[in-house]
């Protein structure tokens, strides 16, 4: 794997980090409303109770919401009972949160191209390598954002049979929007603007 490919993989990791940061900035003010929603069947999810029992870890809650943005549900287990398929943004009427990963991957594609030293960049290749980094960091983060406290276990549910759309989303976000970002970055207009900047600003 050459350096350009490694930069694109790194940009995929960076896109996931940016998505997490943006989620924290825009969603944490809405947090109580986002995680006190009932499940699709009308039951209490137990997510807010688990959050309070753990001492209200904001950084973990932002991660749960980010997983939801990638269509990965959160499961809550307590006293032998498990609630599956909690998709916070949909239940809370905050579907606009699903835009955040797409925006982060778009920026990732732009950055990957700007970091490359080759003159002939293939946008789909940038998106493909971006997908590798984005997917790897998402799978690692699933362990990081798993929490056990006061009899509750909260974790991203990667194996819920009814919501296995998430692998398509995890691949689709960086592949589509990362490639789009690369297309924008390689457009003649953007290249002209970049080349016209003073040397001291590059």
Per the structure, the count of domains in the chain is 1
201 inside domain: no
Q: Which residues contact 140 (CB under 8 A, 6 or more apart)?
A: none
Read off the pTM: 0.85
pLDDT of residue 122: 80
* Mean pLDDT of successive 10-residue stretches along the chain, which has 202 residues: 81 94 87 69 70 87 92 84 72 85 95 76 87 95 91 85 79 95 82 59 51
CA 88 – CA 35 distance, rounded (Å): 6
Tokens, residue 40 = 């699709």
Asked whether residue 113 is assigned to any structural domain, the reply reads: yes
- Rounded to whole angstroms, the Cα distance separating 52 from 70 reads 24
Scanning 29-152, the segments in alpha helix (DSSP H) are 31-34, 47-53, 58-69, 88-91, 99-115, 123-144
Confidence at residue 179, expressed as pLDDT on a 0 to 100 scale: 94
Residue 199 in 3-state DSSP? Answer: helix
pLDDT 10s digits, 18-52: 999 999 998 878 887 787 765 555 556 678 888 88
Domain that holds residue 103: 3-194
């Amino acid at each position: 794997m050459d350096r350009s490919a490694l930069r694109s993989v790194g940009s995929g990791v960076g896109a996931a980090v940016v998505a997490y940061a943006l989620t924290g900035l825009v969603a944490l003010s809405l947090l109580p409303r986002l995680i006190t929603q009932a499940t699709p069947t009308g039951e209490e999810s137990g997510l807010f109770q688990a959050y309070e029992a753990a001492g209200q870890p904001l950084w973990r809650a932002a991660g749960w919401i980010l997983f939801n943005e990638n269509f990965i549900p959160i499961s809550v287990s307590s006293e032998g009972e498990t609630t599956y398929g909690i998709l916070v943004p949909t239940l809370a009427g905050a579907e606009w949160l699903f835009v955040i990963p797409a925006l982060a991957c778009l920026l990732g594609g732009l950055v990957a191209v700007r970091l490359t030293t080759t003159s002939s960049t293939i946008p789909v290749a940038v998106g493909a390598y971006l997908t590798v980094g984005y997917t790897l960091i998402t799978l690692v983060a699933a362990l990081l954002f798993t929490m056990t406290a006061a009899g509750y276990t909260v974790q991203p549910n990667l194996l819920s049979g009814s919501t296995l759309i998430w692998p398509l989303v995890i691949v689709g976000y960086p592949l589509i929007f990362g490639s789009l970002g690369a297309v924008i970055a390689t457009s003649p207009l953007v290249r002209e603007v970049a080349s016209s900047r003073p040397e001291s600003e590059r």
